[in-house]
A and B are shown apart, each in its own frame.
Chain A
Amino acid sequence: MKAPSAPELTELLGPGAVLPSTDALPVRVHPSSVEQVSALLALANSRGWVVLPQGGGTKAGWGGGTGICDLVLEMTGLNQLVEHEPGDLICVAGAGMRLGRLQEIVSRAPGYQQRLMLDAPQGSRATLGGLVATRASGPLRTRYGTMRDLLLGAQFVLADGTIARTGGKVVKNVAGYDLDKLLVGSNGSLAVLVEVALRLHPVPSGRASVVLAHATPQRAASFLAALRRVPAVPSIAEVLWPERTVLVQLESSPEGAERQAELVAAIDPEARQLDDAEWEHWHRTLSSRPWEGDGVVAGLALPLSRIPNLLFLAEQMDQKGVDFSLSLRGTVGVGEIRLPSVEGTVRGFREALESMDGELEIHRGSGVVGQMGSTLSDPISRTLSAAVKRALDPRGTLAPWRVTEPSPFSSGAADGPDCG
């Protein structure tokens, strides 16, 4: 295999597209069209180069982290708005567009109030393609789901340079296989996303919020269980530990939000409504919270009935003086945790979580503790995932270490040049 060289790539793409770097691999290129992405991939595939697509670089550690690669495709050049149709609550844009920019564009439509309802960590700098590939989400996951629920269609390029589309730009569509779902959460290992069509939501006109502070695990868990039963539809229901706090946001018409907040606050005598300033104070840090401070950050998920067990575990960890921070979407059963970069601690937490039928996926710090994520327990699904990867990328060109699932205890290829 002949390694990629800047002159060769410059010849392919024209001046300016190959980013200046040292002689070391990977070579970083900055394509600005779908055709360039296709040409690059076709070349890489024929040469046996390993390619990593990259968006805003905010979640480079996800999906098995960064590995050894020859070429990094910086996708931020494909950042054009293709269409925003406010009357249809949809938009279509280049996968390299940053979320912050998209929000700015869609919020400007006169006569409409709409947004992409996704508040993933470092979301505004993240690209749309990266958000699809990582399936990252934040507190609003509670009401609006993840990219799985927001992506309507995509254009993508396979490892061999094939340009293809899936889905469309309408909110209801069952023509052909739903390959959108396959791309969401594929961590760049199946195809390079070049354009995405997304569903927008109206921004509700009213908002109210409730806090339950100083809660015991038992009290927080009962509060959440009751929250699922009262006639209120929270857009955020975050449990924060060791802060022992549950935060709930209700969005609706102004009076609708207010009445729902009253119901929620009435669940527990200790719960109370927050004023706007207090809510802003909490909300500002809500999605980035687990990423603040050092340590390993992992996504976690567990069945709703096991949330009490998780909160008891968190309480115990706090009493033992473990430095951690847990953010949990309390009516869904997903969240993130920051843990010390100590292998034994991460492993211990993973085992405890798995005993609650939960799953852990390392997002930051796999270089230190290894991937140590939970694995799919079903062997036939594993075989199928590998078959899908082979079918779309038979030569293993696209981020092959971001295998379809992490292998337990393997180190995340921390040696070698970092693609991140």
Chain B
Amino acid sequence: MPVMVELQSGPEMKVETLVKRLREEVGAEWVLTSPSDLRTYECDGLTGWRQAPIAVVLPATTDEVSRVLALCHLLGVPFVARGSGTGLSGGALPVEDGIVIGLSRMRSILSVDLENERVVVQPGVPNLQVTQAVQAAGYFYAPDPSSQRVCSIGGNVAENSGGAHCLKYGFTTNHVTAATLVLSDGRVAHLGSQCPDSPGLDLLGVLIGSEGTLGVVTEVTLRIVRSPERIQTLLAAFDSTDGAGQAVAAIIAAGIVPAAMEMMDRATIEAVEATMHAGYPNCGAALLVELDGPAPECESLFQEVSALCQRVGATEVRVAADERERALLWKGRRGAFSAMGRVSPDYYVQDGVVPRSRLAEVLAGIGQLEAKHGLRVANVFHAGDGNLHPLILYDRRSPGGAGRARELAEDILGLCLAAGGSLTGEHGVGRDKVCQMPRLFSVSDQEVMCRVRTAFDPSGLANPGKLLPTPRLCGEHPGIYRPHPIELAGQAERL
């Protein structure tokens, strides 16, 4: 599709040409350029970062996405894909002089194949709709981010999203078997296969979690899972997060893999009670444990889990007697972020990972950091896989409030890394943590990632400035890695 474009004619001409050609490709009403329209797309769930794009394009088909990217390629315009904009790392933050490709019109479920346990969807389909489409037939789609009513499958693929039940069932990467990827020059690749363990390089595996930097995903094949026969849920109350942490360790040591194991500390429980009255016990920490599977297995393990909780000092164990009570136990957990939004003017969600055996120690360290920085931290997190979500409560209007919150957040990451953990368990690097990457990865590690990125996107137009640090964003020596005192003392090393 050869087009004549005056590339030489200055930035304004370029924008005009771009918008005109975009309108030809997808229809004028699907190209937004007015400042009020663009405002919606200025940020994702990490609202502290904002940038208006030149335009927002809303394509309806793979072919349209391909033509839009071919055009971007021709004109050298960077692009950022956007699903539902719930990301918490600034992954869908627009780039200056770039466009946003919104996938919100591509929200059809294309096929449901129960016999082969596959569902094919467009990228804008909200996560929960997949389960809704198959649950009557006794199946579900396992990855269940707390944002599942809203967040899109395309966003899930880009972030390799997890959820409470990923402890047992695995993450998005374990549930996607094929994807259509439009490359930054407009070519369309079909990655993966209808067969498992297909020979050849696992390009699909690299795509999942690539945060929109390898191209735009326009179709996804998902694996669905048979619904368990029985689900049982309990909430155990403890005096402190230490006690709850011991229960986590005891359950894992007993060889039990719960479907979900979530922890909430006192600050979280108080906020949840104040705003949504879930009826949680008044305690220092609560552990929500859910088991599922064949009824006999589920029932015997459930007994064992309750006994273990009691043995390590649970002050109370509440068992959900029916679906209604189960929903109530989950209500507080699912609503914890929004509850926090109501008790604190602002909060920042950190997303660090620690080895599960070191939960108690890191939580104690976070407690010390709270005191040091004079800010409160509420912990509500996926305890079973060591994925912490400390919510740092602050007030942006108080002098230095945001700065202190950021420092505290970075110190928490330092604790996670010193314990042998990771920068992010499910929210991604995005723009938020791009300058933190050098704390975990050496220059060579990052260079290898960069080589792979370039193999997919030689032009560098796909979501630039995300995932990998650049000197422009982070300075010549990207990142602000400072060895943690434990590392200096030789008691810990970064992996």
Contacts and interface: CB of A to CB of B under 8 A. Distances in A.
Given A174-B429, A252-B293, A252-B297, 19 more contacts: A86-B253, A87-B249, A87-B355, A87-B357, A171-B385, A172-B382, A174-B424, A176-B467, A177-B210, A179-B206, A181-B173, A181-B202, A256-B294, A332-B196, A381-B191, A381-B203, A384-B456, A385-B203, A405-B201
Interface in A147-171: 148-149, 153, 158, 162-166, 168-171
A13 to B, nearest CB: 22
A180 B421 CA distance: 17
A179 B452 contact: yes
B441 A170 contact: no
A137 B455 CA distance: 29
Nearest to B355: A88
Interface in A233-281: 233, 252-253, 255-260, 263
A181 to B, nearest CB: 2
Nearest to A197: B495
Contact of A178 (B205, B228, B356): B205
B193 interface: yes
A301 interface: yes
26 contacts: A85-B357, A162-B447, A168-B495, A169-B495, A176-B441, A176-B468, A177-B206, A177-B452, A178-B209, A179-B449, A182-B452, A186-B201, A202-B254, A231-B230, A259-B296, A299-B197, A301-B197, A301-B198, A303-B116, A332-B196, A358-B195, A361-B199, A376-B198, A376-B200, A387-B456, A390-B455
Interface in B234-271: 249, 252-257
A175 B429 CA distance: 6
Contacts of A165: 441-442, 445, 495
Interface of B: 113, 115-117, 138, 159-160, 162, 166, 170-171, 173-174, 183, 187-191, 193-206, 208-210, 226, 228-230, 249, 252-257, 293-297, 300-301, 353-357, 382, 385-387, 420-429, 433, 437, 440-442, 444-449, 451-456, 467-468, 495
Nearest to B444: A164
B166 A172 contact: yes
Interface in A189-245: 190, 197, 201-205, 228-229, 231-233
B355 A169 contact: yes
A378 B440 contact: no
A353 to B, nearest CB: 10
Contacts of B194: 303, 357
A162 B437 contact: no
A252 B296 CA distance: 9
A408 to B, nearest CB: 12
Interface of A: 85-90, 111-114, 135, 137, 141, 145-146, 148-149, 153, 158, 162-166, 168-182, 184-186, 190, 197, 201-205, 228-229, 231-233, 252-253, 255-260, 263, 299, 301-305, 332-334, 357-359, 361, 373-374, 376, 378, 380-381, 384-385, 387-392, 404-406
A384 B190 CA distance: 11
A8 B187 CA distance: 47
A361 B193 CA distance: 14
A232 B198 CA distance: 27
Nearest to A185: B202
A76 B296 CA distance: 44
Given A172-B425, A304-B117, A333-B196, A388 B255 contact: no
Contacts of A190: 201
A164 B442 contact: yes
Given A85-B355, A85-B357, A165-B442, A178 B296 contact: no
A302 B197 contact: no
B256 A137 contact: no
A182 B456 contact: no
Contacts of B386: 88, 170-172
The listed residue with most B CB atoms (<10 A of its CB), out of A111, A145, A361, A385, is: A385
B355 A170 contact: yes
A406 B203 CA distance: 16
A202 B206 contact: no
Contact of A172 (B171, B191, B255): B171
Contacts of B255: 112-114, 202-205
B442 A304 contact: no
A339 B244 CA distance: 56
Contacts of A301: 193, 195-198
B419 to A, nearest CB: 9
Given A171-B386, A174-B424, A182-B205, A359 B198 contact: yes
Contacts of B197: 135, 137, 141, 146, 148, 185, 299, 301, 334
A52 to B, nearest CB: 18
Contacts of B422: 168, 170, 172-175
Contacts of B205: 148, 178, 180-182, 184
Contacts of A381: 189-191, 200, 203
B105 to A, nearest CB: 24
Nearest to B449: A177
Contact of B200 (A145, A146, A172, A404): A404
Contacts of B230: 231
What are the 8 A-B residue pairs with the smallest beta carbon separation, nearest first?
A181-B205, A202-B255, A256-B297, A231-B229, A87-B357, A301-B195, A380-B189, A259-B296
A387 B295 CA distance: 49
Contacts of B195: 301-303, 333-334, 357-359
A190 B203 CA distance: 13
Given A205-B255, A378-B190, A256 B420 contact: no
A158 B448 contact: yes
A264 B183 CA distance: 46
Contacts of B206: 177-179, 181-182
Contacts of B440: 168, 175-176
A172 B444 contact: no
Contact of B253 (A111, A135, A153, A233): A111
A392 B173 contact: no
Nearest to B446: A176
A172 B426 contact: yes
B297 A175 contact: no
Contacts of A137: 197
A65 to B, nearest CB: 13
Contact of A304 (B116, B200, B256, B449): B116
Contacts of A361: 199
A373 B199 contact: yes
Contacts of A88: 252, 355-357, 386
Given A302-B195, A303-B195, A385 B454 contact: no
A380 B183 contact: yes
B454 A384 contact: no
Nearest to A376: B200
B445 A175 contact: no
Contact of A175 (B138, B174, B437): B437
Nearest to B257: A202
Given A170-B386, A175-B437, A305 B115 contact: yes
The listed residue with most B CB atoms (<10 A of its CB), out of A87, A90, A201, is: A87
Given A186-B201, A334-B196, A178 B160 contact: yes
Given A170-B354, A252-B294, A304-B116, A385 B200 contact: yes
Contacts of B115: 304-305
A25 B429 CA distance: 46
B63 to A, nearest CB: 14
A34 to B, nearest CB: 12
Contacts of A392: 448, 451-452
B66 to A, nearest CB: 11
Nearest to B458: A387
Nearest to B89: A174
A89 B199 contact: no
Given A179-B449, A305-B116, A406-B199, A172 B353 contact: yes
B449 to A, nearest CB: 5
A173 B353 contact: yes
Nearest to A403: B200
B253 A112 contact: yes
